[in-house]
């Protein structure tokens, strides 16, 4: 293993790591000798994850569709001590034919894909690296912050997903700007064969997971805070991602609906 690929990060939390891309990332990082903490939305899912990923150090539990459970999840993570990296991998796709509202009265794609990583970022001590899972579809997202909860627009599940991935990428850029001591990146893992990607996806889940692990552990000089990646290659993000007004507007909107601010 060359110098640029030398692993430097040991303690890793991966949200949504009991299945799909997150599980494969966990397996690869465990195989590389890292201490990996899994996350499942329920005790059953967390237990299944520990069986499926032998060698994982621990698992934390919390349904990201609930503010209370996400806050409690952050408490579990704090109790583990400081982590080296957090991979915000968890997310849902665009299969719902109509708008779904969570127990908090929020649109569920936004709450799970955007608000949950915001809350965990705000409530968990800053690690050395943060990775936010984006998608190539973020370029089809609408950066308008006026109706994040889809209360006035006609529901469009595909657009809601694209918007959420755009806002994940905006969140990464906002955190990179506010926390210069943390290496914060966003990642398009590619269209890979997972439950979200589907069986017809051209990419292999191992390659997408490998990109997550590479961003988490590599000494490659391309891994710079504020950089967006398509796999292991730096890539241009949607122009809105660099807009400071949109970054601050998203942070303010997340604080408004959750009551939790980002330091």
Catalytic residue among 118, 132, 165, 193: 165
φ and ψ at residue 228, rounded to 5 degrees: -100, 140
CB contact burial 121-143 (16+ within 10 A = b; e otherwise): bbbbebbbbbbbbbbebbbebbb
**φ/ψ bin of 173: left (φ > 0), alpha (ψ from -120 to 50), beta (otherwise):** alpha
Catalytic residue among 94, 161, 193, 195: 161
161 assigned to active site: yes
Q: Any bridge partners for residue 53, and if so which?
A: none
Helices 116-123 & 157-178 angle (0-180, nearest 10): 20
Rounded CA-CA distance 185/6 in Å is 19
Closest by CA to 99, choosing from 154, 146, 167, is 154
Tokens of 249: 């507007």
As annotated, the active-site residues are 161, 165
């Amino acid at each position: 293993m060359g110098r640029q690929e030398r692993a430097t990060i040991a303690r890793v939390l991966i949200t949504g790591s009991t299945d799909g891309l997150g599980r494969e990332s966990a397996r690869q990082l465990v195989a590389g000798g890292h201490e990996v903490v899994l996350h499942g939305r329920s005790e059953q899912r967390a237990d299944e994850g520990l069986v499926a990923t032998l060698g994982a150090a621990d698992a934390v539990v919390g349904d990201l569709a609930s503010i209370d459970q996400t806050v409690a999840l952050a408490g579990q993570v704090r109790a583990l001590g400081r982590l080296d990296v957090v991979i915000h991998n968890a997310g849902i796709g665009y299969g719902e034919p109509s708008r779904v509202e969570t127990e908090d009265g929020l649109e569920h794609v936004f709450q799970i894909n955007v608000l949950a990583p915001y809350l965990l970022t705000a409530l968990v001590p800053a690690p050395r690296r943060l990775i936010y899972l984006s998608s190539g579809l973020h370029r089809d997202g609408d950066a308008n912050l006026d109706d994040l909860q889809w209360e006035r627009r006609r529901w469009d599940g595909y657009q809601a997903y694209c918007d959420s991935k755009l806002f994940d990428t905006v969140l990464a850029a906002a955190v990179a700007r506010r926390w210069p001591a943390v290496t914060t990146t966003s990642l398009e893992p590619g269209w890979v064969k997972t439950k979200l990607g589907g069986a017809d996806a051209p990419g292999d889940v191992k390659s997408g997971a490998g990109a997550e692990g590479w961003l988490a552990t590599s000494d490659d000089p391309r891994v710079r805070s504020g950089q967006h990646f398509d796999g292991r290659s730096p890539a241009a993000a949607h122009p809105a991602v660099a807009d400071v007004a949109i970054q601050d507007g998203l942070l303010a909107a997340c604080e408004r609906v959750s009551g939790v601010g980002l330091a």
